[in-house]
Amino acid sequence: MSNSVLILNGPNLNMLGTREPEHYGQDTLSQIEDRCRKLGAELGWEIDFRQSNNEGELVTWVQEATHVHQAIILNAGAYTHTSIAIHDALKASGVSVIEVHLSNIFQREEFRHTSYISGLADGVICGFGGVGYELALRTLAVKK
Residues with catalytic annotation?
Answer: 24, 101
> Which one, of 105, 135, 131, lies nearest residue 118 by Cα?
105
> Which one, of 6, 7, 74, 4, lies nearest residue 45 by Cα?
4
Q: Does position 102 bind ligand CA2 by CB under 6 A?
A: yes
Q: Does position 15 bind ligand CA2 by CB under 6 A?
A: yes
Q: From the CB of 16, what's the least distance to ligand CA2, in Å?
A: 5
Footprint of ligand CA2 on residues 19-38 (CB under 6 A)? Answer: 19-20, 24
94, 71 in Cβ contact below 8 A?
Answer: no
Footprint of ligand CA2 on residues 52-81 (CB under 6 A)? Answer: 75, 77-78, 80
With H, G, I as helix, E, B as strand and everything else as coil, classify residue 131: helix
Q: From the CB of 23, what's the least distance to ligand CA2, in Å?
A: 6
